[in-house]
């Protein structure tokens, strides 16, 4: 099994799914049961966007689960309390680490411990080399290639979220989520006019939308979004209740309604030049 799939594109649009992986490597050796662990996945996100490569959209997808190694974290966001031996590189005790959701997860969204053991520094190093670096290299290369071709790039970082936030999911436990949350880190990773354009597109189709709350976007938009240089990175969260049963992980009838709207959104973004958008 490959850890990462990258399908190059020909357009100015790049999509990536860092959290929909369902391949659990043998060296994971987690303590909690797999059913509990699987609720951490952005399950089926890769299916929602499987039309994208045929439209010339670059597509990057992680096959490893986010709980094994979270590609949407900086390498400094490591919870050293998980380690049996010293970590030689700098670390930062940020909010995700305190929630148990750093580079390597300590807890699930509901606060269930993943491990009954300490990990070695070498284990974590191997996960970084096999998962994090190839994933980020693929995203960076796709964004650079799209920008060279077109002079601008729109990068959509594709995610899903539970209908109700768990106790350790975000800093807003118990929050009932809208249909979509669009994150641009308060306008620092994408032109706010583009963010509002996407919000308006979804609202016109009957969806409830929030911007930058409770998800502003994390490492994969922070690292690659440079709106002043026409590199626009947006995190797009979809409420799982729209398309799947959160208990069984099975798709339901809502999937057939949602997916065509996502295709319409992607096609509209392909026809859009963000340089022509202006704030009202």
Structural domains of the chain sorted by starting position, each given as residue range(s) with its CATH number in brackets: 4-20+34-68+136-275 (3.40.630.40)
DSSP-derived secondary structure letter, 131: I
**pLDDT given at position 184:** 98
Residue 232, beta-bridge partner list: 154
Nearest to 41 by CA among 184, 240, 174: 240
**pLDDT given at position 80:** 96
Rounded to an integer, what distance in angstroms lies between the CA atom of residue 220 and that of residue 234? Answer: 9
Rounded to an integer, what distance in angstroms lies between the CA atom of residue 72 and that of residue 60? Answer: 13
Asked if residues 182 and 235 have their Cβ atoms less than 8 Å apart, the reply is yes
**pLDDT given at position 280:** 56
Nearest to 197 by CA among 232, 226, 150, 228: 232
**pLDDT given at position 117:** 97
**pLDDT given at position 45:** 98
**For every one of its 280 residues, what pLDDT tens digit does the chain have, with 9 covering 90 and above?**
689 999 999 999 999 999 999 999 999 999 999 999 999 999 999 999 999 999 999 999 999 999 999 999 999 999 999 999 999 999 999 999 999 999 999 999 989 999 999 999 999 999 999 999 999 999 999 999 999 999 999 999 999 999 999 888 888 899 999 999 999 999 999 999 999 999 999 999 999 999 999 999 999 999 999 999 999 999 999 999 999 999 999 999 999 999 999 999 999 999 999 998 876 5
Give pTM, 2 decimals. 0.97
Pairing type for strands 58-62 and 153-161 reads unpaired
47-50 long-range contacts, Cβ below 8 Å, gap at least 24? Answer: 47/251, 47/255, 47/259, 48/158, 48/238, 48/243, 48/255, 48/258, 48/259, 48/262, 49/15, 49/17, 49/158, 49/262, 49/266
**pLDDT given at position 153:** 98
**pLDDT given at position 279:** 63
Rounded to an integer, what distance in angstroms lies between the CA atom of residue 40 and that of residue 101? Answer: 11
């Amino acid at each position: 099994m490959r850890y990462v799939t990258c399908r190059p594109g020909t357009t100015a649009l790049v999509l990536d799914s860092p959290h929909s992986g369902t391949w659990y490597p043998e060296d994971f050796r987690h303590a909690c049961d797999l059913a509990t662990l699987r609720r951490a996945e952005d399950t089926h996100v890769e299916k929602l966007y499987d039309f994208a490569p045929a439209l010339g959209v670059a597509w990057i997808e992680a096959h490893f689960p986010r709980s094994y190694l979270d590609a949407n974290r900086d390498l400094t966001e490591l919870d050293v309390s998980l380690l049996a031996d010293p970590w030689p590189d700098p670390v930062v005790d940020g909010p995700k680490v305190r929630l148990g959701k750093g580079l390597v997860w300590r807890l699930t969204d509901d606060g269930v411990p993943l491990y009954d053991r300490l990990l070695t520094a070498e284990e974590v190093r191997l996960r970084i080399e096999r998962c994090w670096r190839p994933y980020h290299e693929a995203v960076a290369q796709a964004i650079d290639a799209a920008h060279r071709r077109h002079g601008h790039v729109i990068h959509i970082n594709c995610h899903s979220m539970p209908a109700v936030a768990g106790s350790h999911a975000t800093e807003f436990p118990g929050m009932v989520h809208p249909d979509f949350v669009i994150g641009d880190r308060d306008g620092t990773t994408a032109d706010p006019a583009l963010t509002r354009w996407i919000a308006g597109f979804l609202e016109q189709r009957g969806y409830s939308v929030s911007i930058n709350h409770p998800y502003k976007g994390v490492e994969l938009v922070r690292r690659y979004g440079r709106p002043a240089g026409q590199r626009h990175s947006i995190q797009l969260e979809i409420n799982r209740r729209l398309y799947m049963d959160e208990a069984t992980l099975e798709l339901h009838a809502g999937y057939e309604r949602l997916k065509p709207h996502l295709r319409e959104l992607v096609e509209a973004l392909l026809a859009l030049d963000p340089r022509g958008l202006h704030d009202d």
